[in-house]
Structure 1
Amino acid sequence: MKKSILLVLLTAIAITSCNQKETQGVSEPFATLVVEDEEMPMMRQPQATASSLKAPQLITKEVVKKKIIKDGRMGIEVNNLELAKARIDSLIKAYDAYYSNESMNNTDWKSSYNLTIRIPSLNFETFISAVEMGKGDVQYKEIDARDVTDEFIDIETRLQNKRAYLKRYKDLLSMAKNVKEILEIEEKIRRLEEEIESTTGRLKYLSDLVDYSTLRLTVEKLNDFKYNPEKRDKFSERIKQSLSKGWYGFIDFILLLTKSWPFLIVIIPLIYFVRKIRKKKKQDK
């Protein structure tokens, strides 16, 4: 009887201990899962802000500055020519321009200034507007703009290539082994230097046309018609001149005959024989 009671107690203790172990085994992973579930959002938030939110990379392109050549023709009719010219002179100073050519014409019908003006391209339009605001009527106006960007880039590229070739030939010249190679390389260097000089001149010419625009301006004033009688000498002086010219003409004629005496020697006998032949023919008839 005592043995059976002892066996029951041992069985109950064993079952109780097993239940406690199962409870502990289940609660520890769960606690861990709960902690992980609570910490996961906190762990993800800084990772998202630090690594995933990066600024996008911007792709930049090189902007090519346009090379524009501007030319213009303009004609203005004014009432006071000198006052208009003085105003143009003041505009030249104000806009950093200059005259490349200046001429004046004065006739019975009109007086005019023909001006070729070089103006900084940035001031070209404002200069023309300032001229138009002056006193006078605009007779004509023509503005032309040419885009030479492609030509400018092409010349610069060829110039860089020629300079690179020139450097290579100079390096080869230092390594030449005989006189023949030296002469051949020096000839190529000479040609390249001439081409570089010509290309550089063309580039400077285009740069000047781009930096300074050209305006051909004509400022004119119509004149009132006035009869101006032609000045003539006195009658006695004119008689003297006529007698003198007649005498000189006669002398020139005598000199001409004197110079042509060889022809007279040939012509006179020829005329004599021709007349004799004609006379004989008439007699035969």
Structure 2
Amino acid sequence: MKKTFLLLFITLLMLGCKKSELESVNSSPAVAAYDVEAPPPPKEVQQMAPPKAISEKLLPDEDQSSQSPVAPKKIDTISKKIIKNGNMKIQVGDIKKAQTQVGEILKKNDAYIQNEQFQNTDMDDNLELIIRVPHKNFDALVNSFSDGVGSVLSKNISSNDVTEEYTNVSIKLANKKIYLEKYRDMLKNASTTKDMIEIQETIRELEDEIDIAEGRLRFIDDRVKYSTLKLSLYKEKVRSSSTSKIGFGSRLADSVTEGWNSFVSFLLGIISFWPFLLIIPVIIFLWRKWKAGRTKN
């Protein structure tokens, strides 16, 4: 009887072990998926090697780098601001001819006349020109006047570096614009009338300061872009025998005229003292009367 129970127990134990092994095999999805459904990995994936470092992914390909040049780095700086001015005085033989030559030189150098003034005297003719010329053509213009127009009597050229002033004004202008936007936002959220009035007054002052700064920058840009040259064309008049006042007769007549004018001026000066002339006889009369009374005593 005991042998029968022992044999039955061993049989059941063996059946249970086999069942557990079958369940463990069937319950493994990785093995089943790999053996049944999952295909082997493609050859391209097997042959692809991982990058050595992350920076290698960011490096451009050799073909792309050779085709697309690297963009230059933008430098946030203000270029040099140089204002050039000049003064020239040239003696010429004929004003009209010299004026024609000046017009051709101006046209060649893209310059223009801003102001023109002509004076005709007994001694000379003088044509004053204020010329505006592009900065790059200033030196060529001055050289052209020096070489082909006439004899240069005087020349003065000056350069003024206003880069620092331009930079300071630009920085202050940018800051004022930032503050202006902030005050405009504050105006939208203002809750009282007093705050609105104060903010509007501040905005008005900022707008005026911005207009002044922008005007100053425009003025500097104009003076930098176009240089200014003051040109004087001078022609001394040649005296003829009919118009000359240097001869003896002319000098004698001028001397007589000048002497007569001096005499008239002297006479008029004496007449201007007529109140004092009236006082003198009175003083003389009183002095004689006083002297006569003293003699009697």
Corresponding residue SS for 2:148:
coil
Tell me the CA shift for residue 165 of structure 1. Answer: 1.3
Counterparts in 2 of 1:109 and 1:165: CA distance versus 1, 3 Å: same
User: Pick from 263, 275, 280: which aligns with 2:293?
Assistant: 280
The residue aligned with 2:171 is 157
**Letter in structure 2 aligned against 1:194:** D
Counterparts in 2 of 1:163 and 1:226: CA distance versus 1, 3 Å: same
Tell me the CA shift for residue 103 of structure 1. Answer: 1.4
- Pairing of 1:107-126 with structure 2 (within 5 A): 107-126=121-140
Corresponding residue SS for 1:64:
coil
Tell me the CA shift for residue 117 of structure 1. Answer: 0.3
User: Pick from 224, 236, 240: which aligns with 1:210?
Assistant: 224
User: Pick from 164, 167, 190: which aligns with 2:181?
Assistant: 167
Q: Confirm or deny that 1:104 pairs with 2:124.
A: no
Segment of structure 1 superposing worse, 166-175 or 127-136 = 127-136
| 1:27-59 deviation per Cα after TM superposition (whole angstroms, max 9, x unaligned) | xxxxxxxxxxxxxxxxx9x969x949x69x999
- Pairing of 1:7-46 with structure 2 (within 5 A): none
Structure 2 Cα separation of the partners of residues 273 and 175 of structure 1: 95
Tell me the CA shift for residue 223 of structure 1. Answer: 2.2
Q: How many residues align?
A: 216
Judge conservation of contact 1:108–1:225 (CA < 8 Å) in 2: no
Corresponding residue SS for 1:70:
strand
| 1:181-234 deviation per Cα after TM superposition (whole angstroms, max 9, x unaligned) | 12211221221122122222211111111111001111222321235378xxxx
- Pairing of 1:46-57 with structure 2 (within 5 A): 51=56
Counterparts in 2 of 1:274 and 1:168: CA distance versus 1, 3 Å: farther
Q: Confirm or deny that 1:78 pairs with 2:53.
A: no
The residue aligned with 1:177 is 191
Judge conservation of contact 1:70–1:144 (CA < 8 Å) in 2: yes
Q: Structure 1, unaligned stretches of length 5 or more?
A: 1-43, 231-252
Corresponding residue SS for 1:133:
helix
Corresponding residue SS for 2:191:
coil
Tell me the CA shift for residue 97 of structure 1. Answer: 1.6
Structure 2 Cα separation of the partners of residues 204 and 277 of structure 1: 85
RMSD: 3.9
Counterparts in 2 of 1:177 and 1:161: CA distance versus 1, 3 Å: same
The residue aligned with 1:224 is 238
Q: Structure 2, unaligned stretches of length 5 or more?
A: 1-48, 61-69, 246-270
Structure 2 Cα separation of the partners of residues 105 and 267 of structure 1: 53
The residue aligned with 1:20 is none
User: Pick from 106, 114, 129: which aligns with 2:143?
Assistant: 129
Corresponding residue SS for 2:110:
coil
Q: Confirm or deny that 1:200 pairs with 2:209.
A: no
TM-score (structure 2 length as normaliser): 0.59
Structure 1 Cα separation of the partners of residues 231 and 133 of structure 2: 12
Judge conservation of contact 2:82–2:160 (CA < 8 Å) in 1: yes
Counterparts in 2 of 1:164 and 1:83: CA distance versus 1, 3 Å: same
**Letter in structure 1 aligned against 2:113:** Y
Counterparts in 2 of 1:98 and 1:135: CA distance versus 1, 3 Å: closer
| 1:227-265 deviation per Cα after TM superposition (whole angstroms, max 9, x unaligned) | 5378xxxxxxxxxxxxxxxxxxxxxx9xxx9xx9xxx9x
**Letter in structure 1 aligned against 2:216:** R
Judge conservation of contact 1:76–1:220 (CA < 8 Å) in 2: yes
Counterparts in 2 of 1:98 and 1:173: CA distance versus 1, 3 Å: same
Q: Percent identity?
A: 35
User: Pick from 158, 163, 179: which aligns with 1:144?
Assistant: 158
Counterparts in 2 of 1:178 and 1:64: CA distance versus 1, 3 Å: closer
Structure 1 Cα separation of the partners of residues 205 and 192 of structure 2: 21
User: Pick from 172, 193, 200: which aligns with 1:186?
Assistant: 200
Judge conservation of contact 1:112–1:219 (CA < 8 Å) in 2: yes
Counterparts in 2 of 1:185 and 1:281: CA distance versus 1, 3 Å: farther
Tell me the CA shift for residue 145 of structure 1. Answer: 1.1
Counterparts in 2 of 1:172 and 1:76: CA distance versus 1, 3 Å: same
